[in-house]
Amino acid sequence: MPSKSDGVPILKVLTNEAFEFRVQQIKDHVESPKEQAIKKTKLVRLLREVSVNEQGKLLIPKDLAAFANVGPDTEVTLCAGDSHFEIWNRAEYERLHGLIAVEEDDDDLAIF
C-alpha cells in the first residue's frame, strides 16, 4: 500500500490479519455506516496483492515501486511497524533517520 512517513513516499506491507485489523478498527471507531463504507473503500483502493517468487523475493508492482522511489538496483530499508512493515528507499531513510542504534548502557531491559 502506498503511504508516506515523515513526508517521504514509502510502501506498507500488510498481512491478511493486519488488513482485517484495520477493517475492524474502522467498524469500531466510525459510527456512520456511510463513513465506514468510504473508509473501507479507500483502504481497499490503496491495497495491492503481491506475491513472493520462488527465490523468496517480494514482487512489487512497478507503479508502487516508482511511488516509493525503489528500482531494481535500489537498496531498501525494511522497518517493522505495529501491524505491518515498511519498505523505504535506503538513502531516504538514512537521510531522515541516520543509522539508529541503542547503546548497551541504555538497554536496561535487554530489549534492543
- pLDDT by residue (tens digit) across 48-85? 989 899 999 999 999 999 999 999 999 999 998 888 99
Query: How many structural domains are present in the chain?
Result: 1
Considering the chain, what is the average pLDDT of its residues? 90
Question: What is the CATH number for 63?
Answer: 3.40.1550.20
> Residue 47 carries which DSSP code?
-
Determine if the pTM surpasses 0.75: yes
Q: Is residue 52 part of a domain?
A: yes
Domain hosting residue 9, numbered range: 2-106
Residue 62 lies in a domain: yes
CA dist., res. 108 & res. 62, Å (int): 44
Is residue 102 predicted with pLDDT exceeding 90?
A: no
Asked, for residue 111, whether it belongs to a domain, the answer is no
- Decide if 112 is inside a domain: no
Backbone CA torsion sign across 26, 18, 11, 88? positive
